[in-house]
Amino acid sequence: MDAVDEQLISLLRENGRASYAELARQVGLSAPAVHERVGKLESAGVITGYRAVVDPAAVGLGVTALVGLIESDSVVEEGIEDALREVPGVEDCWFVAGSEGYMLKVRVPDIPALESTISALNRIRGVARTRTTVVLSTKWEGRHG
């Protein structure tokens, strides 16, 4: 990976819908050269996907919470991870160091839905308890917020 690849990654992080022609203008290469470089970055697993960033409130997800999962002593992590994938509202999951084993970002419509989600998390085999922080407002999300 060279400086041009790093610049392409930065540009795509800002606008994943930028055309090859637009990217080419910004990095000083031809559109076919940029297409080839982006393809190589995708093939190498550096670029793993493209997605639309959506305002959660605009789609009815007005409550965001960060939930730390504290595991019981006898836990099989793969089982917890599989179960977490099935819980509606769990948007992101990180395996972390510290008192919690996992940190989750949960988005739900309202507080009763958050309560239901926390109850579902606490019923997962291997979860001893959870610790929840409700987000009051989001100042920015993602590096380019």
Would you give the DSSP letter of residue 45?
T
> What mean pLDDT value characterizes the chain?
93
Instruction: Provide the CATH number for the domain around residue 18.
Output: 1.10.10.10
Q: Are residues 87 and 126 in the same domain?
A: yes
Neighbours of 95 (CB within 10 A): 12
> Lowest mean pLDDT: which of 69-73, 102-106, 117-121?
69-73
Residues 39 and 62 in one domain: no
Specify the pLDDT at position 53.
Answer: 86
Task: Give long-range contacts, CB 8 A cutoff, 24+ apart: 6-12.
Answer: 8/34, 8/37, 8/38, 8/41, 9/41, 9/46, 9/47, 12/38, 12/47, 12/50
**pLDDT (tens digit, 9 = 90+) per residue, 6-60?**
999 999 998 999 999 999 999 999 999 999 999 999 999 999 999 888 999 999 9
pLDDT mean over 117-125: 96
Cα–Cα distance for residue pair 17/117, rounded to 1 Å:
34
Assess if residue 143 is contained within a domain: no
Same domain, 71 and 120: yes
Instruction: Give the structural domain span for 75.
Output: 56-135
Contact at 8 Å (CB) between 124 and 75? no
Structural domain contains residue 98:
yes
